[in-house]
Amino acid sequence: DIQMTQSPSSLSASVGDRVTITCQASHDVSKYVNWYQQKPGRAPKLLIYDASNLGPGVPSRFSGSRSGTDFSLTISSLQPEDTATYYCQQYDDLPLTFGGGTKLQIK
């Protein structure tokens, strides 16, 4: 199975900060990594697909990038509504696997 190692597991930052969450795949997954945002008590929502493509309706302060088997989700200017848990997920191979999640809180 492909392991997706996500870090940090939790993060606290201030409004306006630039925040980066990373995910490392245990094997080559090409560009096939997606990022989801899950707010408390809500279903996950697609943020980024195929490493760097913005999902529909997602604000442009969110971006994704890839370097080999390392993937990053960046929020350029943190907003209060970005409080959530973020998950990466690979679909290069079965079983589909998620990272452990990063809980992002606003200071």
Partner 1 sequence: EVELLESGGGLVQPGGSLRLSCAASGFTFDNYAMSWVRQAPGKGLEWVSSISGSGGSFFYGDSMRGRSTISRDNSKNILYLDMKSLRADDTALYYCAKVSVAAYNGYFDFWGQGTLVTVSS
Which of 22, 37, 63, 97 is in the footprint of partner 1 by CB under 8 A?
Answer: 97
15-23, 58-66, 68-76, 98-106 -> range binding partner 1 (CB under 8 A): 98-106
Query: Which ranges of the chain does DSSP label H, i.e. alpha helix?
Result: none
Q: Is 83 in the site for partner 1 (CB under 8 A)?
A: no
Among 75, 84, 87, 104, binds partner 1 (CB under 8 A): 87
Among 15-23, 60-68, 71-79, 93-101, which window interacts with partner 1 (CB under 8 A)? 93-101
How many Cα atoms within 13 Å fall on the side-chain side of residue 62?
22
Strand partners, 64: 73
Closest C-alpha among 1, 5, 11 to residue 87: 5
